[in-house]
Amino acid sequence: MNPVKQRILDGDDKCDECGKHIPVGRLEAIPDTRYCVNHSKTAAYVGVMSYGHKTAGEVAYVKGDDEEAVRLLWRAYRRSR
């Protein structure tokens, strides 16, 4: 079972601070986060190391509350492995 789906099924996808749902994109990027992006105690930015054929590896950053950007970044990351 995907840990993110499990958290949603368990109703464990809410911010500890405000009780709002944490966006799925954020959960996928940071599966163990306890907070929404507004109450994050850590960086609001998500970094993913991607490996290309020609580069040794580069880190891409997107804003953690931009669900679409996180989704695309995560997809590219999975594809690169």
- Per CB under 5 A, residues contacting Zn ion are 15, 17-18, 36, 39
Q: Which is nearer to Zn ion, 12 or 17 (CB)?
A: 17
Tokens encoding 75: 């997809």
Tokens encoding 39: 């109450």
Q: Which is nearer to Zn ion, 22 or 73 (CB)?
A: 22
CB of 44 to Zn ion, least distance (A): 12
Q: Which is nearer to Zn ion, 38 or 80 (CB)?
A: 38
CB of 19 to Zn ion, least distance (A): 7
- The radius of gyration of the chain's CA atoms, rounded to the nearest angstrom, is 13
Tokens encoding 11: 């109703």
CB of 38 to Zn ion, least distance (A): 5
